Chains A and B, each alone.
Chain A
């Protein structure tokens, strides 16, 4: 390619990327800037840089959100869901990819077909089910309520997680499996000692997808959790809004505080995430 043309195309690429990068992170920049302004200034000024930096809104909102309490609630729900998802569907993915049993492929197809069921379809039955099992209702404890939130979330995340794990395990050479077998390793041992440790990219992908999804989930937790003290951060954030008539700076400060934990996790796992998602998709 001639040098001039190469230069033009890379300039075009650069401009395009710069523009879209700005569009994609502008809402975040604005969120940060608004969290540091007075409500007056938020409404009048369009500048990203506040005239007077006000950290008091942020600390005030932090206290009003009772951050640590609700952070712990959100973290418990997110961690339990993600650990459950990774454990259950890496096992199942291995089962579908590397072992044989009667009806295996039909069962797998059934799981993938589940992707098609709109989650809103099962919302009502799930609530009835949780009520009749005593997970929610008058007798409910925090533990039973959280189980009621987490178990359906795990099941809902199943099809995609299973698909990614199964594709990944299927791509791995079967020789590994046979060699371990010859050396006297049990099927469970092969899974735990050989295949699972190699599946780190997929574990990272599935984890990050679900950490983001569960952390941000609003409707399902809001239906199941009926006691203020058990709320997750997003529910508390919405609750905060009821007490104040659209204080934009408070809203933004609250939003920022709620999002920071996931953004940190995302930046830490970003690299694995890209690798795992595409490994499963391209070859599958």
Chain B
């Protein structure tokens, strides 16, 4: 394609030049198919990303004096501050920096427990569904159900389950484990709130993982198992040496899509369930960015800087994940 383009510029006769140009245009006409997507992306994808990057080096009140196209930053409502916004939450302001560091730990906690928990639950369920037990299509439907529920409606139910006089505490009481119940409610106790949120996130991400594993299981050749059985392998060996390695590509898909879902949308869950509390114990970086952008602590420059750190962290995590998994497959 590139060669064709070069040749057109060298063409001598104007008529030929025109027809060559047409030929190039024709060969590239596929671009028309992607044009709507690209236009939308330029306006609502690329522009905001650049905007947020530039804004992370400015201090601005959010109302007037700052714009990107054409570029303008007018005092006193807007000023260039260099890396001050980044310094602010990385080390300069001890309170903010402390909060940010804790928020990162909470992110890490959610990322590991939710991906881990999802896989640990989803694989046995998929294996069980794959056995062809009685009523399996009903089971499959019931297990899929939490998929429809990334919304406020389900968070209300979970909030009730976690209430001081809610479902979870009374179930614990019923089976004689009342002592480990949370007196202030599961979302009302600092040490329990984040794990409780993690449970909700796991609950809603298991169904998709089950679907992926089921599809993967169906591609495994049954003869492999029979051969291994003849060689004297037990069920545990089969799982460890046949099923798990063959499902590794599926596991990668699940890990990446779960990580992505947590980074993209867990702040909405947390916003609706605890709004970061109690005492900030469920404030993740996503929610922190949101609070700096739209909440009481409104500081758009710091919010943008934080958002960019989040983006960098996610890019690194994804690349490490892909690298690690790729080297093992």
- Chain A residues with CB under 8 Å of chain B are 1, 9-10, 12-14, 16-18, 20-21, 23-25, 27-28, 30-31, 34, 43, 46, 87-89, 91-92, 94-96, 98-102, 104, 107, 111, 114-126, 128-129, 132, 151-152, 154-155, 158, 162, 187, 191, 212-213, 215-219, 223, 234, 237-238, 248, 251-252, 254-256, 258-259, 262-263, 266-267, 270, 274, 277-278, 281-282
Contacts and interface: CB of A to CB of B under 8 A. Distances in A.
Contacts of A258: 151-153
Contact of A278 (B156, B215, B264): B215
B198 interface: no
Interface string B85-112: 0000000000000000000000000000
Interface string B304-319: 1001101100110010
Interface in B237-289: 250, 253, 260, 263-265, 267-268, 271-272, 286, 289
B40 A14 contact: no
28 contacts: A16-B128, A17-B129, A18-B139, A20-B121, A24-B145, A25-B142, A27-B157, A30-B167, A46-B174, A91-B37, A92-B37, A99-B29, A102-B2, A107-B34, A114-B41, A114-B45, A116-B315, A121-B52, A121-B311, A124-B55, A129-B43, A151-B43, A216-B150, A266-B147, A274-B215, A277-B212, A278-B215, A282-B216
- Chain A's interface: helix, strand, loop or mixed, by majority? helix
B49 A16 contact: no
A145 to B, nearest CB: 15
Contacts of B265: 119
Nearest to A113: B315
Given A88-B40, A89-B37, A24 B203 contact: yes
B154 interface: yes
B18 interface: no
B161 A116 contact: no
Contacts of A34: 160
A101 B206 CA distance: 40
A253 B307 CA distance: 37
A94 B33 contact: yes
- Size class of B's contact patch? 35 or more
A187 B30 contact: yes
B192 interface: no
Interface stretch (B9-17, B130-138, B176-184): B130-138
Interface of B: 1-2, 5, 27-34, 36-38, 40-41, 43-45, 47-49, 51-52, 55, 67, 121, 124-125, 127-129, 131-134, 136, 138-139, 141-154, 156-158, 160-161, 165, 167, 170-171, 174, 203, 206-208, 211-212, 214-216, 219, 229, 235, 250, 253, 260, 263-265, 267-268, 271-272, 286, 289-290, 293-294, 300, 303-304, 307-308, 310-311, 314-315, 318
Contacts of B34: 91-92, 95-96, 107
A120 B286 contact: yes
Contacts of A96: 33-34
A119 B287 CA distance: 11
A128 B152 contact: no
B111 to A, nearest CB: 13
A23 B29 CA distance: 53
A259 B253 contact: no
Contact of B37 (A14, A25, A111, A115): A111
Contacts of A18: 139
B25 to A, nearest CB: 10
Contacts of A23: 203
Contacts of B253: 281
Contacts of B148: 212, 259, 262-263, 266
A43 B260 contact: no
Contact of A95 (B31, B152, B307): B31
* Among A89, A262, A278: residue with most chain B CB under 10 A: A278
A17 B152 contact: no
A83 B169 CA distance: 44
Nearest to A18: B139
A122 B31 contact: no
A28 B45 contact: no
A155 B289 CA distance: 21
Given A18-B139, A27-B161, A102-B5, A115 B44 contact: no
A24 B206 contact: yes
B41 A155 contact: yes
B293 A123 contact: yes
B139 A216 contact: no
